[in-house]
Structure 1
Amino acid sequence: MPDAAHHRRTALAVLGIVAAMLGLAYAAVPLYRVFCRATGYGGTPQVATAGAATRGARTLNVRFDANVAPGLPWRFEPETPEMAVRTGQTVTVFFKVRNMAGRDTAANAQYNITPDIGGFYFNKIACFCFDEQHLGPDETAELPVVFFLDPKLEADPTMKDVDSLTLSYTFFAAKPAKAASTAVATPKL
């Protein structure tokens, strides 16, 4: 028959496993985002600091898609719906956005590339999606994206039959900033 020390060790082991599983559950979303950014998984574009060192030989059609989540009073569209892009060529495109509300609003853009494998070769140098966007009442803005298609895609057999990529954005209303507590506690007498 097991003694009390054995029961304590078993209970501690179970608690340790539960704590580890809980920690992994909280870490799953940030770790998944890091994984997607590093590998292009799920159509997540890469972030680059400079253009490609070489130009490739292939040209792909790149389409631009713009969406606004329900409840956000913005109109959002690409200035150019699609264009032919040669691998290694640095391209700048603009999206127009307008706040249709009579108040200040803020939003964040989520993005992806389809087909998903294209995300590994789609490199953004600059993008409005890296930062929260703020627009005043009835304000309009042009938002740039600077990108290139990595010439390495030409050697990937899974990209052989891919003739076009779609860069898609969706703006979501920014979460309101938590107001700092300005109330001063009054001592009770």
Structure 2
Amino acid sequence: MTSPLRRRNRVLGLSMLGVAGLMVGASFAAVPLYRVFCQVTGFNGTPQLGGPAAPGAPAGERSVTVRFAAATAPNLPWRFAPQQVSMPLKPGDQGMAFYEAENQAATPVQGIAVYNVTPEVMGAYFHKTACFCFDAQTLQPGQKVDMPVTFWVDPAMFEDPNTRDIRSVTLSYTFFRTLDDAQKAGVLASAGPHVGRLGAAP
């Protein structure tokens, strides 16, 4: 027969293993859960994704300026830049912009993009409906591609005292070799996956 002390030790040991397992699981879930929170709330400048199409701008609505920024990680031998510096957009109307990427290496190189908007308070009102982010892109040596993105700004921004005076929003993309690189750089938690892909045209 098992002694009461041995039984208690076994129960305690199993309980400690269970707690350790839960802690490990929670650590792996922290980044995806934080990302979902950011997507739902627009926290930390995370654009809203999916949902309804652009509703159309209300009559007489003023425009905001959408600016475009691009960057690449130091270990990615690509040239990556927006094809337009900025564009005026009436909240409620759909916009479309293009980025361009070129592999400057002598071998095929894969990259993956993450994005964000600033000011961060605009994350709840900036909706991306299709883009190239979070899709691995492999470019051949010297290959150049156009990468489109479609988006709209919610007219409700003018009803929010935190955003109604904003006249300019910046959409930024950064290309990394891998998502692990993006996570190490500390940008993955504030980004979100895309909905729909327009694709990259050679």
Q: TM-score range by the shorter chain?
A: 0.7 to 0.9
CA distance in 2, matches of 1:49, 1:144: 19
Tell me what 2:100 maps to: 96
Tell me what 2:34 maps to: 32
Choose which of 162, 165, 177 in structure 2 pairs with 1:161. 165
CA distance in 1, matches of 2:178, 2:9: 49
Q: Once the 2 structures are TM-superposed, how far is the Cα of residue 50 of structure 1 from its aligned partner?
A: 5.1
Q: Once the 2 structures are TM-superposed, how far is the Cα of residue 111 of structure 1 from its aligned partner?
A: 0.5
Tell me which moved more, 31-40 or 115-124: 31-40
Choose which of 1, 12, 15 in structure 2 pairs with 1:13. 15
Q: Once the 2 structures are TM-superposed, how far is the Cα of residue 79 of structure 1 from its aligned partner?
A: 1.0
Conserved? CA contact 2:158–2:165, under 8 Å: no
TM-score (norm 1): 0.83
CA distance in 2, matches of 1:10, 1:49: 48
Tell me what 1:23 maps to: 25
Aligned AA (2:15): A
Secondary structure at the counterpart of residue 23 of structure 1? helix
Indicate whether 1:110 and 2:114 are aligned. Answer: yes
Aligned AA (2:84): T
Pairwise CA RMSD: 1.9
Indicate whether 1:120 and 2:124 are aligned. Answer: yes
Conserved? CA contact 1:37–1:45, under 8 Å: yes
CA distance in 1, matches of 2:178, 2:24: 27
Indicate whether 1:172 and 2:168 are aligned. Answer: no
Aligned AA (1:166): T
- Over the matched positions of the two proteins, sequence identity in percent amounts to 44
Conserved? CA contact 1:58–1:154, under 8 Å: no
Secondary structure at the counterpart of residue 166 of structure 2? coil
Q: Once the 2 structures are TM-superposed, how far is the Cα of residue 8 of structure 1 from its aligned partner?
A: 3.9
Tell me what 2:199 maps to: none
Q: Once the 2 structures are TM-superposed, how far is the Cα of residue 3 of structure 1 from its aligned partner?
A: 4.6
CA distance in 1, matches of 2:66, 2:164: 16
Q: Between Structure 1 and Structure 2, whose CA radius of gyration is higher?
A: 1
Measured against aligned partners, the alpha-carbon deviations of 1:136-186 in whole angstroms (never above 9, x if no partner) come to 1101111101100012212212112322111111100147xxxxxxxxxxx
Measured against aligned partners, the alpha-carbon deviations of 1:32-85 in whole angstroms (never above 9, x if no partner) come to 122222222211112226532242424211111000101111111111111221
Change (3 A) 1:159 1:22: same
Aligned AA (1:22): V
CA distance in 2, matches of 1:7, 1:174: 45
Structure 2 alignment gaps of length 5 or more: 180-202
Q: How many residues align?
A: 174
Choose which of 123, 131, 136 in structure 1 pairs with 2:135. 131
Indicate whether 1:67 and 2:71 are aligned. Answer: yes
Aligned AA (2:124): F
